[in-house]
Amino acid sequence: MALPELATPQAPASVRTPAPTHRTRATTLPEVRWAALAALAFLAALPLDLAGAPAWLLGPLYAICYAAGGWEPACAGLQALRERSLDVDLLMVVAALGAAAIGQYLDGGLLIVIFAVSGALEALATRRTADSVRGLLDLAPATAVRLTAGDSAHEETVEAADLAVGDTVLVRPGERLPADGTVLRGTSDVDQASITGEPLPVPKAAGDTVFAGTLNGSGALRVRVDKDAADSVIARIVALVEEASATKAPTQLFVEKIEQRYSVGVVVATLALFGLPVALGADVTEALLRAMTFMIVASPCAVVLATMPPLLCAIATAGRHGVLVKSAVVMERLGAVDRVALDKTGTLTEGTPTVTAVHGDASALALAAAAELPSEHPLARAVVAEARARGLDIPEASAFDAEPGRGVRAVVGGREVRVRRAAGHHADTAVEVVVDGAVAAVLDLSDRLRDGAPEAVAALARLTGRAPTLLTGDNAGAAARIAAEAGIDDVRAGLLPHEKAEAVREWERAGARVLLVGDGVNDAPALAAAHTGIAMGRAGSDLALDTADAVVVRDELRAIPAVVALSRRARRLVVQNLWIAGVCIGALVVWDLAGHLPLPLGVAGHEGSTVLVGLNGLRLLRDAAWRRASPVVGGRSAGAHPVVGNRSAGAVPTRPDGADAGARGFRA
């Protein structure tokens, strides 16, 4: 029996309907509101303090700053204390209060604001990732049209979650597939970029596999459901992202790795400096002053500022040049990567097809463009765009007819013109232009490499000492061609999302610190599993953007090695600052313990070291810092680097099951 008639025309397959998202507004998070209040109060007090305003004016502002930004770290520190643990949160609050007790309100307020803002950014990033994971489920439609067993002409609308293995569903043009399954009848082209990353819609006919959440093209499909909703590929992506995010080892700044011992040491020493002299009969006031001096000079202000300003300044500089790094921890981690994996479609390439060559009669391009002009397919738009770019006049066509999965037919100037897929092409998509029954030309179409891709690949190889790897869901031939153009030897093609993530985990288990660069939903599990993930911002899916640790806003590939180099410079400045802070704190502590350090001199020494490390970190705010990081990608070709060479594009691995994801076809 024929497929049921279509009720109403649907959106064309080339229109990629974004999944609805449920994004938490920053202002709804209490951490953000408290941090904002603390920062505003501090910024209001700062110029007044520097101008010598009276205490009655400064006091309320600093009180708001301390209370708004300090109550959550204080609660966290007290909770840790109840669990017999002492962390830097509590020590930070104590140090800030100690600074305020001796009149150093500015220093204590700055410390409070740094911790509050860092906590707010972390809370926002965590919530946004959770929002995107939930929104991913909306890729699959909520309902489906099920054909009743025994009467394929009878339809019923059911919840997609209620579909059972063996059910038959009808998918009309422009609709998303409700389940993973096999095509029983019908032909169409399906945009499955959200799953495999393939840049072009893939022809589907009887016997072909389709995935839930992918977008049907211009034909109607009857599909047998092969998997329950909970076992679909899109559901597995959600599970993989959640699992990777939950199990990834907690990351900390360097200074936080020693916070427990440092905090305990300062507290024990402070109590000893006060308690022992008092027990031996010393004056209580003098002992308290000495202990307070010790706590001030040993407080983590300089250490925190040794770490945070270089990283925060590097974040600001990267942001001005189109790279959004989500936290100081991420900026620190970027400099530690020693292996890079790149997605293909939308990352190394632009993600849209273009005509790369015309074989045969060049005038046939104008006829092909005329026949394709009414079509909405991405390949049709590429043919039309190429004809216009060459300045060709596109004649009018009549009797237009599109055959889903096969091509188009039209009459142009009294001649019958067909544009259909050409057989025997694997690395590119090729179409034949058939005029009055004879092949007049063959057009090669392919995804175009991004500008600067070879230079970026070579720069990443120089930074890590190892050429990047290409991980893609696209077919082996297309992957090999793009890899050869970009200067990549190691290519893994035909990978599903969980296979990309497993490749990353395999490297991580071997001790590598992997940087994964991607843009799509299918990259999200690997982005979550990697040591550090970077998403391409313009075409990136919401899930990829929120799962990634950093975002390249302008899709400029050269910015990726530049931000890695900037991170490494920031890490070097952190080490410098820690030495400066350590030497200054050590000298003041020894002076206080071995002799008599006057409180004003101790405060001056402490403030001097804090200012010094802060100014050292501010060097990364200058544009020169980005220029010093950028030369690694400028003026060199990918082939000039010894790490990138001897490409064997033919030896391209496919999926572990031996399947080639590359049966790429053409439809109109």
Q: What are the structure tokens assigned to 248, written together?
A: 């990834």
Quick one: which of 445, 536, 451 has its CA closest to 485? 451
Cα 315–chain centre separation: 15
Residue at 563: amino acid letter: V
User: What are the C-alpha distances in Å from 487 to residues 95, 347, 464, 467?
Assistant: 53, 15, 15, 8
In contact, 398 and 370? CB cutoff 8 Å: no
**Residue 405 to residue 201: CA distance in whole angstroms:** 9
d(C-alpha 87, C-alpha 545), whole Å: 32
* Residue 223 token pair: 């599909």
Q: Is 228 a catalytic residue?
A: no
Question: Which residues have a Cβ under 8 Å from the Cβ of 448 and sit 6 or more positions away?
Answer: 349, 350, 352, 354, 356
Q: How many CB atoms lie within 10 A of CB 580?
A: 16
Give me the numbers of helices (H) and strands (E) for the chain, helices first please.
Answer: 20, 22
DSSP state letters, 396-410? -EEEEEEETTTEEEE
Q: Which residues contact 15 (CB under 8 A, 6 or more apart)?
A: 174, 376
As given in the structure block, the two tokens for residue 506 are 């395999």
Q: DSSP letters of 242-305?
A: HHHHHHSPP---GGGGGHHHHHHHHHHHHHHHHHHHHHTT--HHHHHHHHHHHHHHHSTHHHHH
Instruction: Give the active site residue among 208, 343, 542, 592.
Output: 343
**Dist CA 603 CA 554 (whole Å):** 46
For residue 152, what are the β-bridge partners? none
In the DSSP assignment, the letter for residue 548 is: S
Q: Are 581 and 303 in contact (CB under 8 A)?
A: yes
Q: Which residues contact 436 (CB under 8 A, 6 or more apart)?
A: 415, 416
Q: What is the largest CA-CA distance in the chain?
A: 113
The dihedral built from the CA positions of residue 363, 366, 369 and 371, taken in this order, carries a sign that is negative
Q: How many CA atoms lie within 13 A of 389 on its CB side?
A: 9
Distance CA 111, CA 273 (A): 24
Sheet containing 415-421, strands listed edge to edge, beginning at the edge strand earlier in sequence: 349-360, 438-449, 429-435, 415-421, 407-412, 397-403
Q: Integer distance in angstroms from the first to the last C-alpha of the chain?
A: 25
What six digits make up the tokens of 581? 């802070």
Please answer whether residues 405 and 205 qualify as being in contact, where contact means their C-beta atoms are separated by less than 8 angstroms: yes
Task: Judge contact between 501 and 518, C-beta under 8 A.
Answer: no
Helix axes 559-594, 453-464, angle to 10 degrees: 30
For residue 327, give the nearest of 130, 121, 124, 128 by alpha carbon.
121
Active site residues: 343
